[in-house]
């Protein structure tokens, strides 16, 4: 009975992952196997010496996505869900509005943000800010100057912040739906009891509702981390302007297209795998520790 899922899991996840790991020690253009050459750790060495700017920028950008989703998008999604759970008039309409970005096709998302919102001349933002004149325009997607500088060349660039905005826009709806489903399952008598004991809205959320939703909270935590690590699509549809690389973009850039560099792309892939792995190990350890206690 467990045979089929195990087989699928191993063949679709572990075999490709191990292949990627092995390929990261080769120089291969992806055409014929006899073209493959074993180069040991050279690809990794190059990632840290030749392509280090791309790599550090990507790692840092992945971290920014994680921070913004975690600090802004996820709490916002929970807040929206909590408010909409109160059976407001027209709640279905509000729910649809917030969930809409999740349903939209990526081509449409790209069009909305690139042509409608961020376009230098006709974009909604520049029109509202009255910055559409020649020389006066704000280049939302093109300006890679840093908003936050950590060390010399590394920090958070303005245009990456502009790309994080649509990510938040989509993530809020996603979290809202998940949390709303969880909230429906909270026993109303718990909240009544809290109200009778004199707790206010915030106290009853913090001390009663939130802890009772632990399984949903874990799902949301996992989803947020995964979304941040695998982020690719929105950056890609906005054409990956300068300063907006993330790991999955580097993997794709190296492997897709002509004369692909499978070895280096795989090495980037392994970096991503390590990050996911680190998270999984941390998560499993903390869950088991709690279960023991």
3-state secondary structure of 156: strand
Contact status: 3 vs another protein (CB under 8 A): no
Report the alpha-carbon distance of residue 42 to residue 30 in Å, rounded.
Answer: 18
Residues numbered 144 to 173 that lie near another protein (CB under 8 A) are: 144-145, 159
Contact status: 242 vs another protein (CB under 8 A): yes
Of residues 186, 180, 187, the one with CA closest to residue 91: 180
Which of the ranges 72-80, 190-198, 251-259, 281-289 carries the binding residues for another protein, by CB under 8 A?
251-259
Tell me the closest approach of the beta carbon of residue 107 to another protein, in angstroms: 10
Which of the ranges 6-14, 25-33, 58-66, 98-106 carries the binding residues for another protein, by CB under 8 A?
25-33
The residue from 50, 181, 190, 280 that contacts another protein (CB under 8 A) is 50
Report the alpha-carbon distance of residue 110 to residue 41 in Å, rounded.
Answer: 38
Report the alpha-carbon distance of residue 64 to residue 58 in Å, rounded.
Answer: 10
- How many other C-beta atoms lie within 10 A of the C-beta of residue 268? 27
Tell me the closest approach of the beta carbon of residue 19 to another protein, in angstroms: 17
Which of the ranges 23-31, 84-92, 179-187, 270-278 carries the binding residues for another protein, by CB under 8 A?
23-31
The residue from 95, 139, 146, 212 that contacts another protein (CB under 8 A) is 139
The residue from 101, 166, 182, 263 that contacts another protein (CB under 8 A) is 263
The beta-strand segments (E) located in 126-245 are 146-151, 154-157
Phi then psi dihedrals of residue 38, to 5 deg: -80, 125
Please identify, using beta-carbon distances, which residue of 160 and 174 lies nearer to another protein: 160
Tell me the closest approach of the beta carbon of residue 102 to another protein, in angstroms: 23
Of residues 277, 273, 253, 276, the one with CA closest to residue 264: 253
Please identify, using beta-carbon distances, which residue of 79 and 155 lies nearer to another protein: 155
Residues numbered 101 to 130 that lie near another protein (CB under 8 A) are: 114, 118-121
Residue length of the chain: 293
Contact status: 192 vs another protein (CB under 8 A): no
Q: What would you report as the CA-atom Rg of the chain, rounded to the nearest whole angstrom?
A: 23
CB-based contact 248:231 (threshold 8 Å): yes
The residue from 10, 88, 108, 256 that contacts another protein (CB under 8 A) is 256
Contact status: 74 vs another protein (CB under 8 A): no
Please identify, using beta-carbon distances, which residue of 91 and 137 lies nearer to another protein: 137
Contact status: 290 vs another protein (CB under 8 A): no
Report the alpha-carbon distance of residue 50 to residue 67 in Å, rounded.
Answer: 28
**Residue partners of 220: CB distance under 8 A and separation at least 6:** 74, 77, 78, 175, 178, 179
Of residues 198, 196, 243, 286, the one with CA closest to residue 64: 243
Of residues 159, 155, 167, the one with CA closest to residue 228: 167
Number of residues that bind another protein (CB under 8 A): 46
The residue from 140, 160, 169, 179 that contacts another protein (CB under 8 A) is 140
Binding site for another protein (CB under 8 A): 27-32, 34-35, 37, 46, 49-51, 53-54, 114, 118-121, 134-135, 137-145, 159, 239-242, 253-254, 256-261, 263-264
């Amino acid at each position: 009975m467990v045979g089929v899922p195990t087989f699928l899991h191993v063949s679709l996840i572990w075999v490709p992952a191990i292949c990627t790991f092995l390929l990261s020690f080769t120089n291969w253009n992806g055409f014929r196997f006899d073209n493959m050459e074993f180069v040991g750790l050279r690809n990794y060495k190059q990632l840290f010496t030749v392509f280090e700017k791309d790599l550090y920028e990507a790692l840092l950008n992945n971290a920014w996505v994680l921070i913004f989703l975690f600090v802004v998008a996820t709490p916002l999604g929970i807040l929206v869900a909590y408010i909409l759970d109160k059976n407001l008039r027209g709640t279905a309409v509000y729910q649809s509005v917030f969930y809409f970005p999740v349903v939209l096709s990526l081509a449409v998302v790209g069009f909305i943000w690139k042509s409608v919102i961020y376009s230098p001349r006709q974009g909604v933002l520049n029109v509202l800010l009255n910055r559409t004149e020649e020389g006066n325009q704000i280049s939302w997607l093109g300006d890679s100057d840093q908003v936050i500088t950590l060390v010399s060349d590394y920090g958070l660039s303005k245009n990456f912040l502009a790309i994080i905005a649509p990510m938040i826009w989509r993530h809020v709806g996603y979290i809202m739906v998940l949390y709303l489903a969880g909230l429906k399952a909270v026993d109303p008598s718990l909240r009544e009891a809290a109200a009778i004991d004199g707790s206010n809205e915030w106290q009853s959320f913090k001390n009663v509702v939130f802890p009772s939703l632990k399984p949903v909270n874990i799902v949301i935590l996992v989803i947020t981390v995964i979304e941040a690590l695998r982020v690719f699509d929105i950056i890609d549809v906005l054409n990956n302007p300068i300063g907006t690389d993330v790991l999955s973009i580097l993997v794709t850039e190296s492997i897709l297209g002509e004369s692909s560099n499978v070895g280096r792309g795989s090495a980037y892939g392994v970096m991503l795998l390590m990050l996911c792995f680190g998270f999984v190990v941390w998560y499993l350890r903390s869950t088991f520790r709690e279960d023991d206690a």
